[in-house]
Structure 1
Amino acid sequence: MYPISNKGSSYWNSNSPASDGEYWGANDESSVPGWDQLDTDMNIADYFASLYGFEPSGERSNPPFATRVALSHSGTGCEAVRDGLVDIGNSSGPITAELDISEEQRDENYVDHVVGRDGQPVFVSQAIYDAGVDQLTGDQIRGIYQGDITNWSEVGGPDQEIFVVGRAEGSGTDTSFRLNMLGDADAPMDVDTRLGQNQQVQQVLQDNDNAIGYMALAFSGSGIQAIAIDFEGTVFQPDPDAENTIFDSEYPLNRDLHMYTRINEETPDGTDMREAAFLNMFLTEFGQQVFVEDVNYITLPTSDIEAERAKLPDQA
């Protein structure tokens, strides 16, 4: 979630003018995606804020109100919005699992704004991939993370111990992986190390020649490889041009990316005008392309975007 919201916050706070052409608007040399649907001469934050009744400043780097995004686990984001410490709690895992609450409690206390999806991949070290482990079955991955498979030779690789990397408990990436791969958000896992951030998983897989790990696709890089996964005869590839891909809605590790707001006495509908103005920016063709797809996440279909917009308060 962090790459999406952080990039959105950066663009918002820049309040770039419509003549910019690179971050917002259009000029003789370029225009941003979806600009033909926006049709405004206002600065970026001015435009989206004005839809919800805020006075535009007309000044670069001076939005009608500023935004700030902090990097943390999904569990921390959910706890912070629960406790009123933040306006929006970002999470790559469902709040029901992160806070151990029921769906009824979720619906009574929070509004779940989905702004994109992540086809959560599984990665191996480059040396393991080069040795022939470019595809595993779902059962094999479960076996590795449950301690039943401990050597790469058991899955067609070299005679080498498997270094199993997990995310820290409380991260949405970990919650989603255990929920979707192991069947329970609290399922035990036999891992050699747990790491707090996607970037740390990336580094460990780059530094070791025998590792396996899971993280958001946005954090893939050199020295590691996303593998294909066979789920009950259907092979999902990390290649977006393949017949079945990890970007498909049918991919079992596909997960929603959430931005939660809190229902309380001051905001009985759960989302105030400031929150709505910021959230609405992501729910446009421009926002989906620039903040979601361009950082390697999966955009929402039009029907889902319309359903998410319906959760926002009426525009001014």
Structure 2
Amino acid sequence: MKKSLLLFFSMVVLLIVSGCSQSKEKTITAVGSSAVQPLTEAASERYSNKNSNIYINVQGGGTGTGLSQIQAGAVDIGNSDLFAQEKKGINAKNLIDYKICVVGIVPIVNKELNIKNLSLIQLRKIFTGQITNWKEVGGPNLPVTIINRASGSGTRSVFEKSVMNNLDTKSSQEQDSSGMVRQIIANTPGSISYLAMPYINKDVKTIKIDNQEATYNNIVNNKWKIWSYEHMYIQKKAKPQTKKFIKYVLSSEVQNNVVRKMKYIPIKDMNYKKDIAGNVTKIGDN
């Protein structure tokens, strides 16, 4: 009797462990860039609807978190606005890079501010603290309030590389969350920051740079300079279901529908390419 009970309980424990193991194998965790988080969430929902046995856990945390977590093997996908080689302490040789789309980064201001256009030099001077009042660029007599992204943010790195010309940004309030940045700008007169295009809505106003607007055509033709690739990084020993999900993200179903609808740009649409150093060349040119 005791042996039968022992065997019974052993089988129960084995089934529980086996069930937990299977559950773990069917979960994909993606962490990192907030700029690509909306796309990852939308693609995940579609994928799970087609594959009910797969659960995809999507979290933000920023590019730095995504890259460090995928390097450590703590997650299945590390989302990044940057090439892994750009982040100190990341060994890109151990990771596989999938460029899934392009995203534009756009300066935003409080919508009551009577400013529609800035030159790139003016924008740079605002973020270095050389320009401190909007009247200096043709606006109202109102102090400039800078809201910056946190130091680990890939969006911030892209903005600094594209705009700041190696100059340091002025010390100011910093925020990890794109949604929180948008909310603060909407509620703070005279404020300025920048967001990935998918986060922009009617609560804030976008700014043209050198009379160029962040449109699809301007980004694909590099007339709008502040853009980056969105990357999904995986380890070389990634689980098969992780690779299948990324293949789905790169499929025409997602690229031609979800990507464009959410204000990202399919990489195949780009007429220009950008390397790790930020050098831009026309596709097809040697």
Q: TM-score, normalised by structure 1?
A: 0.70
Query: Measured at CA, do residues 161 and 246 of structure 1 come closer, stay the same or move farther in structure 2, by a change above 3 Å?
Result: farther
Q: Which of 45, 56, 64 is equivalent to 1:10?
A: 45
Task: Report what 2:227 is aligned to.
Answer: 254
Which residue of the other structure, out of 114, 126, 149, is the alignment partner of 1:144? Answer: 126
**Residue 160 (structure 1) aligns with:** 142
Hey, what's the Cα distance between the residues in 1 that align with 2:269 and 2:141? 48
1:216 is the counterpart of 2:183: no
Distance 1:245 1:143 in 2: 24
User: Deviations along 1:195-225, whole A, 9 cap, x unmatched?
Assistant: 1111011001100120111111111122311
Distance (whole Å) between structure 2 residues aligned to residue 213 and residue 3 of structure 1: 19
After superposition, give the CA deviation of every residue in 1:124-147 in whole Å (9 maximum; x if it has no partner).
Answer: 11111xx2x111111111101111
CA–CA distance in 2 between the matches of 1:159 and 1:94? 41
- Residues 278-305 of structure 1, C-alpha deviation per residue, up to 9 Å, x if partnerless? 011121221113331121111221699x
Aligned CA distance change for structure 1 residues 190 and 302 (closer, same or farther; 3 Å): closer
Deviation above 6 Å: which 4+ runs of structure 1? none
Distance 1:303 1:123 in 2: 24
Structure of larger gyration radius: 2
CA RMSD of aligned residues (A): 2.0
Q: Which residue of 1 aligns with 2:26?
A: none
Match status 1:89 vs 2:56: no
- 2:260 corresponds in structure 1 to 293
Selected match of 2:100 from 94, 115, 123? 115
The answer to which structure has the higher strand fraction is 2
User: Secondary structure of the equivalent of 2:58?
Assistant: coil
- Percent identical across equivalent pairs? 25
2:159 equivalent in structure 1: 177
Change (3 A) 1:100 1:143: farther
- SS of equivalent residue, structure 2 residue 148: strand
Q: Gaps (5+ residues) in structure 2? A: 1-35, 272-286
Instruction: Map residues 27-42 of structure 1 onto 2, 5 A cutoff.
Output: none
Cα distance in 2 for partners of 1:221, 1:246 equals 19
Q: Aligned pair count? A: 236
Q: CA deviation at 1:191?
A: 4.2
1:150-183 deviation line (CA, Å, top 9, x unaligned): 1101111111100011111101111111122124
Matched, 1:68 2:68: no
3-state secondary structure, aligned to 1:189: coil
- Tell me which amino acid in the other structure corresponds to 2:231: H
| Partner amino acid, structure 2, of 1:113 | Y
1:309 corresponds to which residue? none
**Separation in 2, partners of 1:301, 1:124:** 31
**Taking structure 1 as reference, are residues 120 and 247 closer, same or farther at Cα in structure 2, changes over 3 Å only?**
farther
More helix by proportion, 1 or 2? 2
Question: Structure 2 CA distance, aligned partners of 1:115 and 1:249?
Answer: 18
Distance 1:209 1:246 in 2: 29
CA separation in 1, counterparts of 2:180 and 2:137?
A: 26
How much has 1:261 moved relative to structure 2?
A: 1.0
Q: Distance in 1 between matches of 2:214 and 2:269?
A: 23
Residues 110 and 185 of structure 2 are in contact (CA less than 8 Å); yes or no, is this contact kept in structure 1?
Answer: yes
- 2: CA distance between counterparts of 1:68 and 1:291? 18
